[in-house]
Amino acid sequence: MPLTPHPHGSVRSSAELNERIRGLWLRAGGRLSAEQRREYERLVTEWAEAVRTEVVQAA
C-alpha cells in the first residue's frame, strides 16, 4: 500500500510511523522488495520529520 508523502510536515506521530515500519518488515519477512524499500524509505523520512517536530514542540 503506497503512501502519499505529506508535503507540509507529518500528520502522523513518530509512534504510529514506527508501528507502520515494524509492520512492513514483519509482512516482508525481513526482505523488502523494491516497492517495499521505497515505502520504507518514505516512512523513515516521515518518521524522522515527526521526531524532529515532536522534539521542537516539547522544547
Cβ pair 50, 11 in contact under 8 A: no
Helix/strand/coil (H, E, C) string of the chain? CCCCCCCCCCCCCHHHHHHHHHHHHHHHCCCCCHHHHHHHHHHHHHHHHHHHHHHHHHC
Domain annotation covers residue 3: no
- What domain range is 26 assigned to? 14-58
Domain annotation covers residue 8: no
Domain annotation covers residue 1: no
Domain annotation covers residue 4: no
pLDDT at 44: 97
Total number of domains in the chain: 1
Domain annotation covers residue 9: no
Domain annotation covers residue 40: yes
pLDDT at 33: 97
Domain annotation covers residue 37: yes
Q: What is the pLDDT of residues 1-51, one digit of tens each?
A: 445 454 455 579 999 999 999 999 999 999 999 999 999 999 999 999 999
